[in-house]
A = this chain, B = another copy of it.
Amino acid sequence: MRHRHRHPRGVRSRRQTRPGHWHVRARVERFVEPSLLLLLRERPLHGYELIERLPEVAGEGRVDVGNLYRLLRALEAEGLVSSEWSAELPGPAKRTYELTDEGRRLLDRWAEALRQAQADVQGFLDRYDQDERR
């Protein structure tokens, strides 16, 4: 792939878009990973299907397509999913992914970790609500 030099990208500071307006997004780190595993637990899917369905579990505006395919291959390299080209299906070549036992175990651990995160955030929100009068 060829690339030419580009001009410096739009300079918005770390999280400020325009003065006095910050971009606040509270997201769970690497949430797409467990989301993919969860979708694949239900049935094997190929990448493009995963992209379409991801918002159902991971919320809106989460996925960068390029990173998603990269992640899928990383998961495969780690033995969490397996894949094969599906020649039978019509249309362009699709790689269909399936969850492995290892992947299933990791999903379970993610679920556990996510419950913990829920608890932490709940603690925050309780404390926030407690003194909202201030």
Contact = CB atoms under 8 A, between A and B. Distances in A.
Contact of A117 (B27, B78, B113, B134): B27
Interface string A1-24: 000000000000010100010101
Copies in the complex: 2
B14 A57 contact: no
A120 to B, nearest CB: 4
A50 interface: no
A22 B128 contact: no
Interface of A: 14, 16, 20, 22, 24-29, 31, 34-35, 38, 41-42, 56-59, 74, 78, 102, 106-107, 109-118, 120-125, 127-128, 131, 134
